[in-house]
Structure 1
Amino acid sequence: MEKQLELATFAGGCFWCMVKPFDEMPGIHKVISGYMGGTLENPTYEQVKKGDTGHYEVVQITFDPERFPYQELLDLYWPQTDPTDDGGQFFDRGPQYRTAIFYHNDKQKALAEASKKQLQESGKFNKPIVTRILPAGPFYVAEEEHQAFYKKHPDKYAQERVESGRDAFIKSHWIQK
């Protein structure tokens, strides 16, 4: 009997920084950088980064829900982001860098909405959680140079995480003291 794999799609700012947390986890089959949410078919990175196509930079994760349930993906997703920032993420500004959870079925939608509500009610942030929960639409794979960026350019990747403010934010807001 063949395993039933599922898709999860998350926008958390620059997709370069969103691959590694999910990649190589047990039950994760692949993580692909791409674009979702816009109206332009087959957008390029250059088009999306202008911020006027309606697309988000996303990672699409193919996973085995029996080994890595969707709830665990959500639990891993939130701490990669500033869910209160509606203008982008860290030093990446613009609508293409906003946070969103794109659901692929009703169960994912319900779990995403419940996790967002739980985060809002936790008091962890004193501003509203603005991460959108949206139906998944067409997914466009980003150019090869953007795939597994952390593996191809480890120094640039590490520099990007520090200079963007992402690591400092995660440390100050998400890592338990």
Structure 2
Amino acid sequence: MKLISLIIVSVVVFSFFVYGMKSQAQQERIMNGLSNLEKSNLKTAILAGGCFWCLESDLDRLDGIEATISGYSGGSFDNPTYKDYYKAPSGETPHVEAVQVWYDPKKIGFDSIVHYYFRNIDPFDGQGQFYDRGPGYRPVIYYSNDAEKVIAEAQRAEIEEKHGKKTAVSIEPATTFWPAEEYHQDFYQKSPEHYKRYRKGSGRDAYIEKLWDGKE
């Protein structure tokens, strides 16, 4: 009996070891990809709008966006993961799910990206997005300079005027963006059936269509 228990423990330990190696290799591939992007002439934007699977899928449709990365941002502690990004240690600020966009400024501007973003989220819900609830899903536009802040604030004001009420979208200075685990990247392409069921069940598309009906 002790031998069987020892074998089981050994298998579990080995499995965690292999998983750790695999996860590390996956993260290294992501970081290598980021390194290549940083050598390009592309610009970046960081946007949070609920589930990063959905926001990444939506942003990938825009011409001029060359890459999107799901991840975590806005918090004050390092190396967040899917299991703890919203659980800030004592004295720290939690992160939110976000998408980092790499775009070609010759093809699309920050203003067009923000315009599209507002029309693909629920800008009036600051407690989450659709059926993803909690502060880890709150909508945020992160700006890198004063010009981007002005653009974001102007478009938020425009949305509020169109709908006659205040939005819940926060506009905050950009902080470190932490790429999510590899299995989250391009999830809508890797697991299309799972993603379609999730998205339909969330009510995201139906709500957005109703929200903007006749408003443009």
Larger Rg over CA atoms:
2
- Cα 1:176–1:155 shift into 2, 3 Å: farther
For residue 113 of structure 1, the aligned residue among 150, 153, 158 is 153
CA distance in 2, matches of 1:41, 1:3: 26
Superposed displacement of residue 159, structure 1: 1.0
For residue 8 of structure 1, the aligned residue among 45, 57, 75 is 45
1:51 and 1:94 in contact (8 A); partners too: no
- Aligned Cα RMSD in Å? 1.9
SS in 2 for 1:31: strand
Q: Which runs of 5+ in 2 are unaligned?
A: 1-38
SS in 2 for 1:47: coil
1:25 and 2:62 correspond: yes
1:109 and 1:133 in contact (8 A); partners too: yes
Give 1:8's aligned amino acid. A
Give 2:199's aligned amino acid. R
SS in 2 for 1:34: strand
Q: Who is 1:157 aligned against?
A: 195
Which of 148-157 and 167-176 deviates more? 167-176
For residue 85 of structure 2, the aligned residue among 28, 48, 52 is 48
1:72 and 2:112 correspond: yes
TM-score normalized with structure 2 length? 0.75
- Cα 1:85–1:24 shift into 2, 3 Å: closer
Q: Who is 2:184 aligned against?
A: 146
CA distance in 2, matches of 1:159, 1:24: 20
CA distance in 2, matches of 1:49, 1:75: 27
Q: How does 1:95-134 map to 2 (within 5 A)?
A: 95-122=135-162, 124=163, 126-134=164-172
CA distance in 2, matches of 1:176, 1:59: 28
Q: Who is 1:59 aligned against?
A: 99
Write out per-residue CA displacement over residues 125-157 of structure 1, whole angstroms, 9 at most, x where no aligned residue.
x54201000000011000001000110011111
Which of 140-149 and 40-49 deviates more? 40-49
Greater relative contact order, per chain length (Cα 8 Å cut-off, separation 6+): 1
Superposed displacement of residue 21, structure 1: 1.4
Q: Which runs of 5+ in 1 are unaligned?
A: none
Write out per-residue CA displacement over residues 64-116 of structure 1, whole angstroms, 9 at most, x where no aligned residue.
11201111101110111111111100100010100000011211111001000
1:51 and 1:96 in contact (8 A); partners too: no
CA distance in 2, matches of 1:168, 1:22: 18
Paired residue total: 174
SS in 1 for 2:156: helix
CA distance in 2, matches of 1:24, 1:174: 19
Q: Which has the higher helix share?
A: 2
SS in 2 for 1:7: strand
Percent identity (aligned)? 44
Write out per-residue CA displacement over residues 39-81 of structure 1, whole angstroms, 9 at most, x where no aligned residue.
1200110102557751010000010112011111011101111
Superposed displacement of residue 8, structure 1: 0.7
CA distance in 2, matches of 1:3, 1:60: 15
